[in-house]
């Protein structure tokens, strides 16, 4: 009897008090802003899952650490994340004998907790390299050693945790010639083959990509890339696909027929295609801001439709996801509104277009 009385007292008095004063057994989750109320069931990731495509976004560290809304939308909407900068040589390998994995580790941990895939980018690039590398006077043998150790240390550490790597990034000039980098200058063009082989040794199950910009529609660069990847395949180099970054301005999106032809011929080679760094800025478009946002949505829509029309197009990844944080803003100081969510995390017409395409039944 006494027990029952105590139980009744607890329910009637203590529970409301606990609620009123915020007493909970686990720390409270961040409160979503009203503008972010999108049912998880119809999130992009749940739709993309059904279509068998990775839908992803690049993640910048500052908001990842400091903005709970950012983390929440990221985990709710996307099944794939790409560290926007944390994998770069400059940050990951700041001294010859020191690596800093702390940030990538946090992102990988977050991805695991939210059942997301991690895409790694880039292993070899001409940019974002540390001074010790840029300014060092190395022999060919030393540079081969540096590159092999870097690739195998990084890929080896995240073996089984990073599903795809941009092994070599932006190795081609606009005219299709090989870009002049320390790797080309001191090692020779075979640095590309070697990078793929080393990455494959370190994680035989990871998907390995060559990534570039300006390679999405047929043209000189796409043709040079096609020749390059055909050569890699002929030599038995382990490459699985091609990344098309696709940073675009309104009105300059790839022409769909030329994009389709390009994806189609890569498919015939047995290669995957992933859109890896999509963003579409609106500042150059004509018409009102609303009209430009609608045109932007139309561009996102047609790119995703094109991707879904091909079995080998396996990922649709934007370079960030909210206009609040985009590399473009810091570059030009203008709000170019290139992404799917506005600065307050409200879905834009571009988001609705992608949701709509993923919900429709055509393709794949």
The DSSP code for 14 is I
What are the backbone dihedrals phi and psi of residue 212, each rounded to the nearest 5 degrees, phi first?
-160, 175
Residue 323 binds to ligand G3I (criterion: CB under 6 A): no
Using alpha carbons only, give the angle 78, 79, 82 rounded to the nearest 5 degrees. 80
Least separation in angstroms between CB 53 and ligand G3I: 21
Catalytic residue from among 272, 277, 336, 355: 277
Of 91, 86, 48, nearest to 364 by C-alpha is: 48
Residue 277 annotated to the active site: yes
Residue 62 annotated to the active site: no
Least separation in angstroms between CB 246 and ligand G3I: 10
Residue 67 binds to ligand G3I (criterion: CB under 6 A): no
What are the backbone dihedrals phi and psi of residue 124, each rounded to the nearest 5 degrees, phi first?
-125, 120
Least separation in angstroms between CB 144 and ligand G3I: 24
Residue 173 binds to ligand G3I (criterion: CB under 6 A): no
**By CB under 6 A, which span of 21-29, 84-92, 260-268, 344-352 interacts with ligand G3I?**
84-92
Query: Can you tell me which of 277, 323, 342, 355 binds ligand G3I, judged by CB under 6 A?
Result: 277
- Considering only residues 132-161, where is the footprint of ligand G3I by CB under 6 A? none
Q: Are 273 and 314 in contact (CB under 8 A)?
A: yes
Residue 245 binds to ligand G3I (criterion: CB under 6 A): yes
Residue 274 binds to ligand G3I (criterion: CB under 6 A): no
Query: Can you tell me which of 88, 197, 200, 324 binds ligand G3I, judged by CB under 6 A?
Result: 88
d(CA 159, CA 202): 7
Query: Can you tell me which of 128, 256, 269, 309 binds ligand G3I, judged by CB under 6 A?
Result: 128
Q: H helices of the chain, where?
A: 2-9, 15-20, 44-51, 61-66, 68-77, 89-92, 102-113, 131-134, 140-157, 182-187, 190-202, 220-234, 256-268, 289-308, 327-332, 349-359
- Chain residues binding ligand G3I by CB under 6 A are 84-85, 88, 127-128, 245, 277, 327
User: Which residues carry out catalysis?
Assistant: 170, 277
């Amino acid at each position: 009897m006494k027990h029952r009385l105590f139980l009744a007292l607890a329910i009637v008095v203590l529970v409301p008090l606990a609620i009123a004063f915020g007493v909970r057994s686990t720390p409270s989750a961040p409160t979503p802003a009203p503008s972010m109320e999108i049912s998880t069931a119809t999130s992009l990731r749940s739709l993309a899952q059904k279509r068998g495509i990775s839908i992803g976004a690049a993640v910048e560290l500052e908001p990842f650490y400091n903005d709970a809304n950012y983390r929440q939308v990221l985990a709710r909407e996307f099944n794939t994340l790409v560290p926007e900068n944390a994998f770069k040589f400059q940050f990951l390998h700041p001294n010859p004998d020191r690596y800093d994995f702390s940030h990538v580790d946090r992102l990988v941990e977050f991805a695991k907790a939210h059942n997301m895939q991690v895409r790694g980018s880039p292993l070899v690039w001409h940019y974002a390299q540390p001074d010790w590398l840029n300014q060092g006077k190395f022999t060919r043998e030393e540079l081969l050693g540096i590159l092999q150790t870097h690739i195998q240390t990084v890929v080896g550490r995240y073996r089984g945790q990073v599903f795809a790597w941009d092994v070599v990034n932006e190795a081609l000039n606009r005219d299709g010639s090989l870009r002049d980098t320390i790797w080309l200058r001191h090692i020779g063009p075979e640095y590309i083959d070697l990078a793929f082989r080393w990455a494959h040794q370190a994680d035989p199950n990871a998907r390995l990509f060559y990534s570039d910009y300006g390679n999405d529609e047929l043209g000189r660069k796409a043709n040079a890339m096609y020749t390059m990847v055909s050569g890699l395949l002929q030599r038995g180099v382990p490459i699985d696909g091609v990344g098309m970054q696709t940073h675009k301005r309104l009105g300059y999106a790839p022409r769909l027929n030329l994009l389709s032809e390009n994806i189609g011929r890569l498919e015939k080679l047995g290669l995957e295609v992933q859109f890896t760094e999509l963003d579409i800025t609106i500042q150059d478009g004509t018409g009102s801001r609303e009209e430009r946002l609608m045109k932007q949505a139309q561009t996102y829509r047609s790119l995703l439709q094109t991707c879904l029309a091909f079995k080998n197009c396996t990922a649709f990844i934007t370079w960030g996801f909210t206009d609040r944080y985009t590399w473009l803003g810091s570059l030009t100081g203008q709000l170019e509104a290139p992404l799917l969510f506005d600065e307050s995390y409200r879905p834009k017409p571009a988001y609705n277009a992608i949701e709509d395409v993923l919900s429709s039944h055509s393709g794949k």
